[in-house]
Amino acid sequence: MASASKAKRPRRAHSARSCLGPVADLEAHLPPEWWRSLFNALYVKTDGDVVENVENTRREVDFVVSAAAIQPHSQILDLCCGQGRHCIELARRGFRNITGVDRSRVRISSSWGGMSGMVEEMLGSREVHGVFGYVSTLAASIAAAKPALAKRVRYLRYAEHVPDLYGSALFASRRRLAEDPAAVRGMVRAFNGGLVALLRDKEAGIGSLRIGTEMWNYLPNVERIVKIPPSMMLQPWMGSDFTNDDLVKESSILEDYTHKVLATVQLDGGAVVQVEAVPKPDAAVVWGRIVYWVRRVDTMPLKQEFFSERGERVRVLTFTDVRKVGGRVLPTRWDMRPDAKPGNSTTVVLKDAVFDRPLDDEIFSQRNLQKR
């Protein structure tokens, strides 16, 4: 007699695809012990220019001692201690019962010449193929300490390769500062003035364009059109509680999900059907599941609940103020409320609509986006 067993649902998290696109829970797509290959000796060594800062370490230890009310006789355990900089600083201050634990097996040594020496050491030993860092500080350090090394290092500058990113400082040459200090001061004033104006209404004038599953934003303050990459689809749209993915809707609710009726409940005197949408095993979607609340009498949507792959509810979208717009009966008020931010919400109000009107394709173009 053959025995039957319940078929298990295939796991979607660890498919063979090289790119998953935007995901709600990144850890669900990683091996259980992903950190073993990340926090290794090379990580600690290349992170040295950030953490091996004496003043930073002193300030951090000051905070820990004050916040935790640590006494000289206290038993101190420093987990994930890295190079042990906090343990060493605590020991220097007279604390004796200190234990630091880190899984990285590293040899702690001073790198001569600061950052420039570290770069030359790593490139010379062929431990790495390249070094990431802040180009301005890295270039200045290497040029000052190791002029010969500077000729061997190639820099990928933001202004040349990633113009949509920005730096955190304004630069002026010493010659320009000496010859025309007023111009430098004017540049700083103009920059600060623009920043203040932007912060007053940072979303003013920003336009969005969607064509198929692609999306662009026009930023009037820099007069630039920026394409939204797949990795940014879960980022807020226009600083709201809606996401870029809400506008693009890369996934299809019909093709990428399976559906079943969970229950029929009474709400405000009428029957409301709860429909659960669960992603198909190979669907590249964002949510673990979505629950739709639909009024039975006229299939009017009332609410959508979005859940992560761990089953936790992330946000709720409610539809209210049902009335006729453009000849159709629609909910004209949409409220998105994230569960992680109680009291926060974003409201979209539909004031008017026109359906089935022929439109010129030129309207939906980057050129027209910039003109608006």
pLDDT at 302: 94
Model confidence over 189-242: pLDDT tens digits?
887 777 676 666 555 667 778 777 778 887 776 677 877 776 666 677 777 788
- Quick one: DSSP state of residue 354? -
List phi, psi (to 5°) of 57.
-60, -40
Instruction: Identify the structural domains of the chain with CATH numbers, from first to last.
Output: 37-150 (no CATH), 251-349 (2.50.20.10)
Q: What are the structure tokens assigned to 259, written together?
A: 């559906």
pLDDT at 173: 81
In angstroms, rounded to a whole number, what is the distance separating the alpha carbons of residues 219 and 163? 13
pLDDT at 103: 66
CA 43 to chain centre: 21
| Cα separation of the two ends of the chain | 73
pTM score of the predicted model = 0.45
CA distance readout (Å), 175 to 178, 180, 182, 204, 207: 5, 8, 13, 38, 40
Judge whether 122 and 45 are in contact, CB under 8 Å.
yes
In angstroms, rounded to a whole number, what is the distance separating the alpha carbons of residues 15 and 18? 8
Helix axes 135-145, 114-124, angle to 10 degrees: 90
In angstroms, rounded to a whole number, what is the distance separating the alpha carbons of residues 126 and 248? 44
In angstroms, rounded to a whole number, what is the distance separating the alpha carbons of residues 151 and 73? 53
In terms of Cβ atoms closer than 10 Å to its own Cβ (0-12, 13-18, 19+), residue 349 is: exposed
CA distance readout (Å), 186 to 144, 170, 191, 193: 30, 12, 8, 10
Q: What are the structure tokens assigned to 70, written together?
A: 């640590």
In angstroms, rounded to a whole number, what is the distance separating the alpha carbons of residues 219 and 177? 31
Which SS3 state, helix, strand or coil, does residue 89 take? Answer: helix
Extract the residue ranges of the chain whose pLDDT is less than 70. 1-18, 35-52, 103-146, 149-169, 195, 197-205, 221-222, 230-234, 248-251, 371-372
Q: Which of 240, 254, 234, 230 is CA-nearest to residue 306?
A: 234
220's CB contacts (< 8 A; 6+ apart) are 204, 205, 206, 207
Residues listed for the chain:
372
Helix-strand-coil split of the chain, %, nearest 5: 30, 25, 45
In angstroms, rounded to a whole number, what is the distance separating the alpha carbons of residues 137 and 147? 15
Judge whether 331 and 318 are in contact, CB under 8 Å.
no
312's CB contacts (< 8 A; 6+ apart) are 339
pLDDT at 276: 96
Q: Mind spelling out the 3-state secondary structure of 119-164?
A: HHHHHHCCCCCCCCCCHHHHHHHHHHHCHHHHCCCCCCCHHHHCCC
Q: What are the structure tokens assigned to 370, written together?
A: 């910039």
